[in-house]
Chain A
Amino acid sequence: MLVIKGLTKYFAKNTPHEILAINNFNLRVKKGDFITIIGSNGAGKSTLLDLIAGTLQADQGEIRLDGEVITSQPEYRRARWIGRVFQNPLLGTAPYMSIEENLVLSLKRERKGLRIALNKKIREYLREELSELGIGLENDLTKKVGLLSGGQRQAMTILMATMFKPKVLLLDEHTAALDPESSKKILKITQELVEERKGDLITLMVTHNMKQALEVGNRTIMMDRGCNILDIEGEEREKVDIDYLLKQFSKLRQQEYIEDRLVLG
C-alpha cells in the first residue's frame, strides 16, 4: 500500500519565481493497482514521480510505503523497493558498461559488497531473464550498452526496474521517445512484466497518450497544477472515453483563459 498525504513541493521557494509544483496532493494506492497518470505539461506528473522516488525531497506531507514513512529517505535507500524507467532511454542504463554489468547492478539493491559481481550462475540467470524480453540480446551479454538502440535500452531498463521484485514501479512517459513500433513493443513488455507480478506490485505510469491511459492499467488519475482533479477506476472508468478526457482538458484550458483575462483585463 502506497499512501501519499498532503504532499507539497515548491520550486525556487521564497523567490519571485516560486512555483507550486505539487499542491497538497493525496493518493492511496492498493497493492496490484496499475495507475495511469495524465495531465498537461507542468501539471506536476514527473515531479510527483521524482518525489516518490526520492530524486526530489518534498517540502510538506508524507509518503508511506507499506506503513513505513519514506518521505525523507535518500533516493538510493528507496531504490530497494522502487523500480524506475525514465522518458529518456539513455538515462536508465550506463553506456560504457556491458549489458551483463548493467543488469547485475540492478539485481542487488542493498549495500553492495566486495563479492565478485558476475559469475556463471548469475550470467545464466541474466541470460534467461533477457531472453524472455524477446529482443534478442541474450547472446550479447558482454556488448556495451551504448551500442544498442533506444528501444533495446528502454527494454533493458524495464527489465532492470522489475527484475529485483520491487514494491513500486514508476514509469515516466517511458514510451514517448521511441518510434511507434518500439513504443508498442515496450508497452507490451511492460504489461507482461507487470502481469507476472500481478497482485503485489504498484505501478504508476505517466502518459500523454489518452488512449493508452484508458486501455492500460485499472485506474486513471488526471493532474492539474499539482492537484489530483480526476480519479476513476472500475466501471466508472470503463464508461469514460477519450472524448470525455479531452473535454476535461479543454475545460481546464477555458478556466485558465478566464483567469488570465481577469488578471490581465
Chain B
Amino acid sequence: MPITLLLHGLEQGLIFGIMVLGVFITYKILDFPDLTVDGSFPLGAAVAAKVIFTGGNPLWGTFLALIAGFLAGMITALLHTKLKLTNLLSGILTMTLLYSVNLRIMDKPNIPLLGKVTLLEQIQNYFPNISLNYLIPFFFLFLIIILKLVLDLFFSTEIGLAIIATGDNEQMIRSLGTNTDMTKLIGLCLSNALVALSGAFFAQYSGFADVNMGLGTIVAGLASVIIGISIIRIPTIFWRTIAVVVGSLIYRLILIIALRYGYKLGFEPGDLKLISVLLVIIALSIPLIKSRIDFLTSFSLGRKDLQNKNHPGEEV
C-alpha cells in the first residue's frame, strides 16, 4: 500500500477522531444515541468556512464552530429534558433544523476554501521546514492527545462522574442529588462541540464545506466507537478514549482501502455508505457471534466452565 494512502488514513482518522470522541460521550457514556451529529458536523464546517471565506481569522472561525456545536447540543438536550421528547426524536429534529441553519450560514450549498488561508496553513508558517504532509498528521495527533487528556480529567471530576452515572443508573444518581437534566445537557453540549470542531477542521483540511457533508456522521462515529471498544477492551475512561480514536483510524483506513481498491471487487464510490453500515453491523454482532462460538465449542470440548459462562460487567 502506498505510504500516502496510509498518511491520508491517519489524517482523516485523527480529524474524524475528534468527532468520534464526541459520539463516544453520548453513545457510550450517556447512553444517548444522538443523531444531532449529522447536523452539527456540517454546522462546524459551515461556520468555520464562512468565517475563513469572508476573510476572518481561521482560529476565530474554528472557535466559533465549537460554540455553534455546543449550542446545537443544547437544543437537543432541551427538547429531550424540557419537552420530554425521546432521545432519538430530539436528535432527528435538531439534525433536520440544522440543515436549514447551515444553508443560511453558508448562503449556498458549498463554500470552496481553495486559496484561502486556513488554520493549517497558519500553523505551517510557524514550522516552515516541515512538509505539510507530515505537519498535518502531527498537528492532529497532538490536538487529539490534548483533547483526550482534557476529557479524561473532566470525567474524573464530580460533574464528570455524575455524567457517567447518568448513563449507568439514572434513578440512582437522581436520588443521590444530581439534576440529570443538567448532566445530560452538559454531555450533549460537550459532545456536539467536539463534533462541530471536527467538522471545522475537516472543512479546512479538505478545502471546502458542503451542506451535505454530514450525512452518515453518526454511522461513522458509531462504527469507530464500536470497532475501537471491541479491540481495546479495558473499561476505564483512559483506555476508552484511546480505543475510540484507534477505532476511528481503523475505520478510515478500511474506507480508504475500499475506495482505492474496491473497484476490483466491483464496488462503486456510491457503495461507501453501504460498506460503513455493514462495518457497524459486523462490529456490533462480533460479541454475540463470539459467545455463540464459545458456547458451541464448549460442548465439543466438554468444558463445563464455558457452558456456565457469566461475566457481569465485562460488556460495558
Contact = CB atoms under 8 A, between A and B. Distances in A.
Interface of A: 53, 55, 74-77, 79-80, 84, 91-97, 101-102, 104-106, 108-110, 112-118, 144-147, 160
A116 B157 contact: yes
Interface string B163-205: 0110011011111111110000000000000000000000000
Contact of B168 (A95, A109, A112): A95
A150 B153 CA distance: 31
A59 to B, nearest CB: 19
B128 interface: no
12 contacts: A55-B171, A77-B177, A80-B177, A94-B172, A94-B173, A105-B176, A112-B158, A112-B161, A112-B162, A112-B178, A146-B312, A147-B312
Nearest to B164: A97
Interface residues of B, number: 27
Contacts of A79: 174-178
Contacts of A114: 154, 157-159
Contacts of A147: 312-313
Contacts of B174: 75-76, 79
A145 B161 CA distance: 15
A218 to B, nearest CB: 26
B316 A91 contact: no
A101 B162 CA distance: 9
B235 interface: yes
Contacts of B157: 112-117
B156 interface: yes
Interface string B136-165: 000000000000000001101111111011
B161 A95 contact: no
Contacts of B313: 95-96, 144-147
B175 A84 contact: yes
Contact of B161 (A53, A75, A101, A146): A101
B171 A91 contact: yes
Among B153, B162, B169, the most chain A Cβ lie within 10 Å of the Cβ of: B169
B177 A113 contact: no
Given A76-B177, A79-B177, A95-B312, A117 B156 contact: yes
A39 B105 CA distance: 63
The 7 A-B pairs at the shortest CB distance, nearest first, are namely A146-B313, A79-B177, A109-B177, A112-B158, A94-B168, A94-B169, A144-B313
B162 A105 contact: yes
Contact of A95 (B169, B177, B180): B169
A76 B160 CA distance: 17
A92 B172 contact: yes
A92 B165 CA distance: 11
